[in-house]
Amino acid sequence: MVFAVVVAASGCRGESRQAPRATSEASEASEASKARATSEANEASEVEDVEALTRDAHARTDRFQAELKAELLGAMEGDGGPVEAIAVCRERAPAIAAAMSEDGWVVGRTAARLRNPTNAPNEWQRRGLADLQQRAAGDNPDIAALEWHEIERGPEGKRLLYMRAIPMGGLCLGCHGPAEGLDPAVRDQLASLYPEDEATGFAVGELRGAFVVSKTL
């Protein structure tokens, strides 16, 4: 009888030692589940934030495009014609971009075939241009609808990088169309201002360049 009691007591002690382990494992599983849920919620929230930011970036390029087009139309319809339009792109486009670069946003333009060297693409813009060019070379692409974005993560935090394709429009042929078809006054002006100009020879509908937008988050 004494032996039986000792065995029974020993068995109870063994069970009591197992209970904390089971409780610990359950607690760890619960914490892991909570961590996964939090991570998934954060990812979903970030996706929503990025979508909202890209919509905002798109809206800013809409404004940029509308204001620049209005000034170009005014120049083309005036006495200066395409020669005056060159001045608009040289002087007014950067001013419009600067006015829209507010509240942490930075707005501009770039292209693979440059006219103004100040618009030369940086590293991330070259990545975006390469993506836009690849998609523009596909079957019947809607150039105006092409966009690219990514979230850059670095030591200083996160940044939205956004680009939107600029299709070649008929209004721009007088300055960006085939070189042999340009007005002599336009050719002379381009040679004077941009001796290394690469931005002629385009046809309507081709990918001319891209709007670029960034914002530190």
Strand-pair partners of 160: 151, 215
Give domain status of residue 17, yes or no: no
Give domain status of residue 2, yes or no: no
Give domain status of residue 160, yes or no: yes
Q: How many domains does the chain have?
A: 1
User: Quick one: pLDDT at residue 6?
Assistant: 42
Residues 6+ apart with CB under 8 A from 109: 93, 97, 119, 166, 209, 210, 211, 212
User: Quick one: pLDDT at residue 12?
Assistant: 47
Give domain status of residue 9, yes or no: no
Nearest alpha-carbon partner for 147 in 159, 168, 129: 129
Residue 5 clears pLDDT 50, i.e. is over it: no
Kind plus residue range of the DSSP H or E element containing 41: helix 2-77
Give ∠ CA 182-188-189 in degrees, rounded to 5.
95
Q: How far apart are CA 162 and CA 211, in angstroms?
A: 8
What percentage of the chain carries pLDDT values higher than 90?
Answer: 74
Q: What DSSP string runs through 92-130?
A: IHHHHHHHH--TTEEEEEE-SS-SSGGG---HHHHHHHH
Residue 153 clears pLDDT 80, i.e. is over it: yes
Mean pLDDT within 56-69: 97
Residue 13 clears pLDDT 90, i.e. is over it: no
Give domain status of residue 24, yes or no: no
Give domain status of residue 72, yes or no: yes
Please give the residue range of the domain that contains residue 126.
32-216
Residue 16 clears pLDDT 60, i.e. is over it: no
Give domain status of residue 23, yes or no: no
Strand-pair partners of 108: 212
Mean pLDDT within 22-43: 62
User: Quick one: pLDDT at residue 30?
Assistant: 67
Q: pLDDT band for 1, please (50, 70, 90 cuts).
A: very low
Strand-pair partners of 209: 166
What percentage of the chain carries pLDDT values higher than 70?
Answer: 79
Poorest-confidence range of 10-24, 116-130, 170-184? 10-24
What's the mean pLDDT when you consider all of the chain?
87
Give domain status of residue 15, yes or no: no
User: Quick one: pLDDT at residue 8?
Assistant: 44
Q: Which residue has the tokens 């070649």?
A: 168
Residue 158 clears pLDDT 70, i.e. is over it: yes
Torsion (CA) 27, 28, 29, 34 in degrees, nearest 10: 90
Kind plus residue range of the DSSP H or E element containing 161: strand 157-167
Poorest-confidence range of 34-38, 76-80, 147-151, 202-206? 34-38
